[in-house]
Structure 1
C-alpha cells in the first residue's frame, strides 16, 4: 500500500504535510497550550512508515481541521518568532488547499479498510483461505470507495468552505 501511494507525487506531498502538522503543533509547550485551548486535543504523531499512526493522524485532522485552522491563526497573531508564524501560516494554507483536503478526505475513507486488512494479515496463525477472503473484502471495500469518489470530492470541497 505504501509503495502504491508513494507512486503519486501529490500523495507524497500530502503525507509529508501530514507529518509536518503534528510535528509543529506538538513540539512546543506554548503551541500545545494554544492547541489545547482551541482544539482541546493533541494530534497523534507517529513514524512515517507506520500506517496506523497515519490513520490516527488523518482521522484527527479530518475531525479538527476547522479548529486547527483557527489555532494556526491564533499562533500567527500571538507569537513573535517569524519562523513559528511562517510555519503556522504554511499549515493554514495547507489546511485550506483543495488538493490536501481531497487526499485527507480520500484517505479518511480508505485507511480504515487498510487498517482492517493489516490487522487480519498480522494474525499469527492465518489460513490461506482467510488471506484470500481478507484481500477480497479489501478489494470490495476499495471498489466501493472508488465508486463513491464523486461524494468524496464534494465532501473534500465542503471542508474548505467550513
Structure 2
C-alpha cells in the first residue's frame, strides 16, 4: 500500500469514527488523493480491495451528498467517478435539501409534543428547529465567505 493510500485510510477512519459510512469514507479519501480526483469502479475496487457492489453503494451515498459525480470514461463504456470542484466544501456549506426537510418537519413534532404536554421533547425540538433555521440562513453566507477567502490568496494552512 502506498503512503498516500495509507494516509487515505487514516483519514477515512476519522470520518468513520465521526459517523460517516466506512466504504463511502474510503472511496472519498481515495478519490481525494488520486492524481486526477477521478477513478473507475475497477480502479477503486483494486485500490481498496472491495467489491463492485461496495463501490456502487459508496458512490451512491457520495452522489446524494454532492461529493462525487459520474461521467462517461472516454473511449470506454465504463463510468468515471470524480470529485466535483471543491466537492467537500460545496457539499458542506451549500444549503442541502436535508436542512429544509428537517425545518419543514419540525413544526409537526413541536405540535405533537405540545399537544402531548411533553415539555422536555418540545424544548429540545424547538432548539433543534432554531438551529436548522439558523443553518439554512447562514450556510449560503458561509459558502460565499469561503469562496471570497479562497479568491483572496493562499489558504490559511499555508501560513503556518
TM-score (norm. length: structure 1): 0.35
Higher helix share: 1
Structure with higher Rg: it is 2
TM-score (norm. length: structure 2): 0.35
Query: Structure with the greater relative contact order (CA < 8 A, sep ≥ 6): 1 or 2?
Result: 1
